[in-house]
Structure 1
């Protein structure tokens, strides 16, 4: 799933705000530094998701027996390959 830069920034702001409200959490660095680290983590997770999706789709396309995208069989194969690819990384 792709998120816009604005959406990622908004999510990071919401997370930092929520962390600051939690009495059991103490930020050891400025809130903007924490927010930027959250932005980086979200962007890395999205990048990984895109890479894994691309690899899985390539694998499915390489099969001699074509499986129709959107079919139950394709969904099951995609999910299994997706999990295997994530485990590799």
Structure 2
């Protein structure tokens, strides 16, 4: 999933604000916490992109018609399986 730098920054701020408001964490260095949140989001989104590419190539090799009901069912199944393998 491609997100702009602004969206990633916005999401990072929302995450940190939520953690702080719920009194789950105190940040000794807010700038460092924000940087870490941005990096984590970027890593998470890059895994989704990698898995998406892998699954699309797999379905293409099986000669499935993109967008068909069968393609979507297999895509969802393979995506879940691959993400399960990569669970952190």
What TM-score results when the alignment is normalised by the length of structure 2?
Answer: 0.86
Say which one has the larger Rg: 1
TM-superposition CA deviations, 1:6-54 (whole Å, max 9, x none): 11011111221222222x3231431221111111110001100000000
Runs of 4+ that moved beyond 6 A: none
CA distance in 2, matches of 1:34, 1:83: 30
Structure 1: gaps spanning 5 or more residues: none
Corresponding residue number in structure 2 for 1:87: 84
Corresponding residue number in structure 1 for 2:47: 48
Q: How many residues align structurally?
A: 86
Structure 2: gaps spanning 5 or more residues: none
User: CA RMSD of the aligned region, Å?
Assistant: 1.4
Corresponding residue number in structure 1 for 2:61: 62
Corresponding residue number in structure 1 for 2:13: 13
